[in-house]
Amino acid sequence: MTKEIEAEKIIKPISTSDGAGVKLKRSIGVEPNYFDPFLMLDEFGSENKDDYIAGFPPHPHRGIETVTYMLAGNFEHKDSTGGQGRMTAGDVQWMKTGSGIIHSEMPAMKAGKLHGFQLWINMPAKLKMSKPEYHYIDANKMSIHKDDEKSVKVIAGKFKNAEGPIKGHNVEPIYFDIELSKNKEFNINLPVVHNSFVYLVEGEIKIGDRSHDNLKDSNLILLSKGDELKVKALTKAKFLLISGKPIGEAIARGGPFVMNTKAEILEAVNDYNKGTFVK
């Protein structure tokens, strides 16, 4: 018997800044502080260059994965492994920081609109000190399902015949960017053990069958556990659907480091200060 997924909690992101003063809206990482396996979700973007031009100068990470998805604008990436690249609209960078990486993300533009998302995913203890690795996913290589009612861009997981390039991942992630026409529905079966959320980028939607508060633009919606998700667009709408299997381990946070114990955080800080951070 199927169990309908409903909107369990609706959260308005807080406005904050990060890096060298990039303005953004943060939801996961504030309220809720942790939605296993997701540690943070930021929506960044502005038409005003002063809100983003200072970017994210070199900074370290250990024990997490960062997934950066660009909707508009250009970002230049450089890191301590010698990797570098430019992200443009529609591109994804999926970075497993593992034992440690120092990287920078700087706007490669002087004006115009910048818009994107960064999601942090926790890594289980057995992978936290693994070798860092990257997946660059170009927009033109992304698998997309399109019909008269909707467009579903698949970054991870599978929808109909569209399958994302991230495979064999420990949290079995689902990451879709969905555009839905007015009065149309998006339906999918999700694993009942997963923690799932919808992030509404623009428009107005209704989730499930139960009545809930108005869902309009820039809202995080934590979903109940279940296996059948139904989203109806009350206006033309764009939203992210993100889902993953919980890791279920203790976490300790220290800024850009997320480990299992405070001692491991102190070790990361010491490694960084001593210059032995990058293994």
Domain assignment present for 163:
yes
Burial of 267 (0-12, 13-18, 19+ CB in 10 A): middle
- CA–chain centroid gap for 113, Å, is 20
188 near 31, Cβ under 8 Å?
no
8-21 mean pLDDT: 87
pLDDT value of position 111: 82
Checking if the pLDDT of 217 tops 90, the result is no
Domain assignment present for 1:
no
- CA–chain centroid gap for 131, Å, is 21
Residue range 98-136, pLDDT digits in tens: 999 999 888 888 788 889 999 999 999 999 999 998 889
Domain assignment present for 191:
yes
62: number of Cβ within 10 Å: 28
d(CA 44, CA 53): 12
Q: Per residue in 98-108, is it b (16+ CB within 10 Å) or e — as a string?
A: bbbbbbbbbbe
Token match 């139904």: residue? 230
pLDDT value of position 139: 94
Domain assignment present for 142:
yes
pLDDT value of position 79: 87
- CA–chain centroid gap for 76, Å, is 18
d(CA 172, CA 21): 33
Give the model's confidence band at 12: pLDDT under 50 very low, under 70 low, under 90 confident, else very high.
Answer: very high
* CA dist list (Å): 260 to 62, 99, 216: 11, 13, 36
Q: Which two tokens stand for residue 184?
A: 């149309």
Domain assignment present for 279:
no
- 250: CATH: 2.60.120.10
**Which H/E stretch holds residue 42?**
strand 38-46
d(CA 98, CA 217): 34
- Identity at 30, one-letter amino acid code: V
pLDDT value of position 180: 98
Domain assignment present for 225:
yes
d(CA 72, CA 190): 29
pLDDT value of position 82: 83
Domain assignment present for 180:
yes
d(CA 214, CA 206): 8
Domain residues for 211?
Answer: 7-274
Q: Which two tokens stand for residue 189?
A: 């079966």
Q: What percent of the chain has pLDDT over 70?
A: 100
Domain assignment present for 2:
no
In this structure, what are the phi and psi dihedrals at residue 167, rounded to the nearest 5 degrees? -130, 160
d(CA 129, CA 131): 7
pLDDT value of position 192: 96
Q: Which two tokens stand for residue 62?
A: 């250990």
d(CA 67, CA 140): 18
Residue range 157-188, pLDDT digits in tens: 999 999 999 989 999 999 999 999 999 999 99
How many domains is the chain built from?
1
